[in-house]
Amino acid sequence: MVLGANRRAKPIYPALRFVAAVASEFKAINDTVHGTMRLDSLVLDLMETLELQRLNSIRQLGLTYLVFPGANHSRIEHCLGVSHVAGRMADAIGLSPEDRHLVMATGLLHDVGHGPFSHTLEHVLSSELAVDHMDLTQRIIAGGDDNVAQDERKAFPEVPRIPQVLEAHGIKPASVAALIRGAGAETTGPRPEPPRTAGTERRVLPQIIHSSVDADQIDYLIRDAHYTGVALGAIDVNRLLQTLVLHDGEMAVDRKGLPALEGILVARGLMYSSVYFHKTVRIAEQMVARAVERSDTPIASIQRMVDHELLDWLEERGGLSREVALRIKYRKLFKRAAAWGPDDLSDGQREALRILSEDRAARRKAEDALAQKAGLEPGRVIIDIPLPELLISEPRIARTDVTVVDDAGRASTLSRLSPLARALQLRAVSDWAVMVACEPEGRGRVAKAAPKVLF
């Protein structure tokens, strides 16, 4: 990290006497994918919080490094990148300095609710508490929750929490929390209204953070493609930003930027198929998730952990938990025993899978029945039904509702203009509707028993 000049010589946390950002107060860092990024005093003060620094110890791509060895980048890198892209998007459509600061702060904070290995335990969290990481993020930003352990926070009493930093910079925490999900998104709890500021309609600010094409997706696609070495995530960010426009108070793309827009959506679909939902990555993630499920430990306490703490905790518990931790540590993973694609299933079989995907107890019972028939111990068989989990971790995956504006100012939707966009709405992310994985020595027996147990 290369530091710039003229930053305050020492923190001023004890008195919380923050000053407004001025041109002389900044640092410059060299980012892997965006190059030099300039951080002003708001971003720098937020970066000092424990909530954000915790993300240094959480991998952006969870257990993907077991398949793509370069995928060791942290969640905080991504958050900095999203903040940077959000600022560029705000500049491109001519937002006010106040709105630009607001979306940059939101981009920086949009993932503070993540637990260990990022999305790996997302479905466990959703199933047990009926919330996801975005709900937790909103609560943390607004001051209603904290994902830093109490004893650890007491070790740094002088460090303020996120709401204090935002308020010291003249930003309402509720305004930041309101932008996290995006305009019109579903949520599991009450959600404050996005702010209405002078000259800006209500929808454009959350669109920068969470929409069909937003700062979050732009950064994670190019960042993850870089670190995994998978060229499928390469996108023309500069061209897209050059063609962003504000149309009737909403973010839109000039018709000239249509190829860049299509490229982002294609990259998103291909990265999910080839990286995020790679079968071996999925198996590793499901192994950890099942170990956590079977521990019968409240997920809220586990959500506060970071990657190495979770593996240490699993190893200390012994039994299946220890076995899974060691298998992850030494990459001795379960293997795929059987799989069925969407076109391989009858209506009755789809209904059976729907029940298993919605009822965690029923799925666990089926896994144990399969293990028993194959002569394996409970917990050594996994049934993976990916679609419901995908919709939790990435609800934007099939969205192509981007407004495109022609030279005459006429607006249309991307899906009407682009056959490619329409095809992406129908494209399956994974090539299996259900996959069964198990200890390598039991693959044959599990494959034989799987149809009877599942269907």
pLDDT in tens, 207-246: 999 988 999 999 999 999 999 999 887 899 999 999 999 9
| Alpha-carbon gap, residue 192 to 174, rounded angstroms | 7
Residue 192 is classified by DSSP as P
Q: Is 247 helix (H, G, I), strand (E, B) or coil?
A: strand
Q: How far apart are CA 102 and CA 166, in angstroms?
A: 10
Q: In this structure, are residues 286 and 324 in contact, taking their beta carbons and an 8 Å threshold?
A: no
Contact 53, 46 (CB under 8 A): no
Burial pattern 292-313, b for ≥16 Cβ within 10 A else e, equals bbbbeeebeebbbbbbeebbeb
Asked if residue 161 is part of any domain, the answer here is yes
- Cβ contacts of residue 351 below 8 Å, gap of 6+? none
Is residue 292 one of the residues assigned to a domain?
no
Give the pLDDT of residue 197: 44
> Is residue 435 scored above 60 in pLDDT?
yes
221 and 73, same domain (yes or no):
yes
Domain count, the chain: 2
In a domain, 158, yes or no: yes
In CATH, what number is assigned to the domain containing residue 210?
1.10.3210.10
Of 262, 277, 292, which marks where a domain is finished? Answer: 277
Q: Give the span between the Cα atoms of 179 and 103, in whole angstroms.
A: 8
> Do 272 and 354 reside in the same domain of the chain?
no
Q: Supply the pLDDT for residue 392.
A: 64
- 210 in the same domain as 352: no
- Beta-sheet strand order (sheet of 434-438): 335-340, 434-438, 381-384
Same domain, 75 and 178: yes
If asked whether residues 341 and 205 sit together in one domain, one would say no
Residue 352 has pLDDT above 80, yes or no: yes
Residue with tokens 């518990």: 317
Of 412, 425, 356, 418, the C-alpha closest to 388 is 356
Q: What is the mean pLDDT of residues 379-384?
A: 96
Does some domain include residue 154? Answer: yes
pLDDT value, residue 196: 44
Percent of the chain exceeding pLDDT 70 equals 89
> Range of 240's domain?
24-277
Q: How many angstroms separate the Cα of 234 from the Cα of each of 226, 227, 258?
A: 8, 12, 16
Scanning 318-346, the segments in alpha helix (DSSP H) are 319-329
In a domain, 414, yes or no: yes
Q: Is 269 part of a structural domain of the chain?
A: yes
pLDDT in tens, 309-337: 999 999 999 999 999 999 999 999 999 99
In the block, residue with structure tokens 């107890």 = 361
Confirm whether 293 is domain-assigned. no
Last residue of a domain, one of 277, 295, 321: 277
73/154 same-domain check: yes
Q: What is the CA radius of gyration of the chain?
A: 23
Q: Is 386 in contact with 429 (CB distance < 8 Å)?
A: yes
Quote the pLDDT of residue 411: 92
pLDDT band at 151 (very low <50, low <70, confident <90, very high): very high
- For residues 269 and 383, membership in a common domain is answered with no
Same-domain pairing of 226 and 344:
no
Looking at the fold, whether 259 and 346 belong to one and the same domain comes out as no
Report the C-alpha gap between 85 and 244 in whole angstroms.
13
101 within domain boundaries: yes
pLDDT at 455 over 60: yes
Start-end of H helices in 333-426: 347-358, 360-373, 386-393, 414-417, 419-426
Pick the last residue of a domain from 246, 277, 308. 277
Single pTM value for the model: 0.88
Place of tokens 């025993």: 337
Strand blocks (E) in 2-139: 26-31, 35-40
Residue 272 and residue 372 in one domain: no
Same domain, 264 and 341: no
Q: Which residues contact 114 (CB under 8 A, 6 or more apart)?
A: 55, 58, 75, 133, 137
Q: How many whole angstroms separate alpha carbon 90 and alpha carbon 96?
A: 8
Q: How far apart are the first and last CA of the chain?
A: 54
pLDDT for position 391: 64
Same domain, 273 and 339: no
Token couple for 195: 């702010």
Q: Is the pLDDT of residue 373 over 80?
A: yes
Residue with tokens 């990459």: 331
